[in-house]
Amino acid sequence: MDYKLLCAQVKGLAEAERWYVPLLANASALIYDNLEDLNWAGFYLLREGRLVLGPFQGKLACIHIPVGKGVCGTAVARDETLLVPDVHAFPGHIACDSASNSEIVIFGVLDIDSPVLNRFTEEDRTGLEAFVRQIEAALRPEDMADALCVRPMAEKYRCPALELVEAVFAAHDGPEEGQTVRRLVEEIRAKAYYVPELELVMTDAADDVSPASTSRGGTTGSCCCCPRWR
């Protein structure tokens, strides 16, 4: 497979339209039409702490996948590509299509299934990772207003509120306070991937937010890392 050509093609599609829906739809079609022995190719987007089905090619698919479950959820939890030669041997595999025998999941999340055992190679891993990076480079926060990228957006727009709450958690040892703050940490951590819709309102802690944390265009009581506040 000529992955350089595939990357050039998806780059051209991104230049024509950066909104994620047509871009991911056509990216799915590129994969499905150009790679042999596939029965499914498409994207899952992280929304409200779980994976939600995005544009794809193939049969009906699972709509929701919890993070940490199945091949897709495990890839997100580990933040890495998973190449599975035999899905039936993968612990907790979610069988959306009984015809699938092997699978590769690229962070992003690009999910590709094949009815052939041991279908995907290290060459596929390298080429498809480059393909997804090309898509990630094209997508801008404003183009993802109702969708969530998994890794790059979360790293680029990591929320200062999360670091603040984690610091508060580290400073409190009381069991009751600790449980309350732990729940808050987990909630914010889940929403830290929710970009650019993430708007964490610092209510009780608003007066404690340092000037430095609101110096990039945000207003007191709002998450200054959210694109709409820049």
Domains of the chain: 3-141 (3.30.450.40), 157-229 (no CATH)
pLDDT score recorded for residue 189: 57
pLDDT score recorded for residue 169: 58
pLDDT score recorded for residue 22: 94
**pTM assigned to the model:** 0.66
141 preceded by a cis bond (ω within 30 of 0) = no
pLDDT score recorded for residue 97: 86
Q: What is the pLDDT along the chain (230 residues), one digit of tens a residue?
A: 999 999 999 999 999 998 899 999 999 999 999 999 999 999 999 888 899 999 999 999 999 999 999 999 999 999 899 999 999 999 989 988 889 999 999 986 999 999 999 999 999 999 999 999 999 888 877 666 555 444 443 444 445 555 555 565 566 555 555 566 666 666 665 554 433 333 333 333 333 333 333 333 333 333 333 332 22
pLDDT score recorded for residue 145: 59
Dihedral (CA of 120, 131, 49, 17) sign: negative
Q: Which two tokens stand for residue 172?
A: 């409190």
